[in-house]
Amino acid sequence: MNSSSYFSYKDIYIEDGRKVLEVNILPEKYCNFDCVFCPIGRSQHKTDVQRSFPGTDNSIVELENNINVLDPDLIFVNSKGEALLNDRIDDIIDLIKANGKAVRLFTNGYLLGRSEYMKIANRCDEVVGEIKVLSEEDFQRLQRPIKGYTLAEYISNMATFRRQYSGKFIFEITIIKGRSDDPGSIDKLKNIIREISPDKIIVAKVNDKRFEKKFSITDEKLEEISKALLNNQHCNC
């Protein structure tokens, strides 16, 4: 790896018959949230404004080299935080598309309601948005967003984006023990799914061992909830 580059990569993997190269495009955690269960840890840079990072040119060259060597079918643009906050993300997408590869973007989803970020996400073949908690109190206390953010706006932003997006929208739902694993929460999630109308739903649990005892549900509970949500007729799955 070039010493002045900061992108990091997961080992290439196969998903639905496609070779996927997952790349993190932030040097450290820059995010508009500061979730208590974030595996990266506390955010020293809570922001929703794009930033410039030294070494991006070299990082983009390195990405192109990896694409040429590994020949993936899909590039999954992820991050230590919110990927949309890298001010060169358009250039990163340009590079991937110039090499004839599909682009998947992971975002927490809040910024998708803003026109400047919506425009960027619209360029991607797939976009992943997510939700973890279902009450305003839990949103503020557990996800610790930028002041002024609300859960209602969070959901609305993803729904607004989805209505005009022509690509594949993937909705990742992380079930939190004692917060979103009861029948009332499942009903709320079904309503949110109806509002957003995703193409695919991923139901997950907290897997970080540091937070499993406090926030993670059992595999059996996860399977039960997954069945309830994946059978929801309002998903385009």
User: SS3 letters for 173-236?
Assistant: EEECCCCCCCHHHHHHHHHHHHHHCCCEEEEEECCCCCCHHHHCCCHHHHHHHHHHHHCCCCCC
Total residues belonging to the chain:
237
List the domain boundaries for the chain: 8-230
Q: Say whether pLDDT at 233 is over 70.
A: no
Q: What is the pTM of this model?
A: 0.94
pLDDT digits (tens, 9 = 90+) for 218-231: 999 999 999 999 98
Q: What is the pLDDT of residue 1?
A: 43
Asked if the 8-230 domain carries CATH number 3.40.190.10, the reply is: no
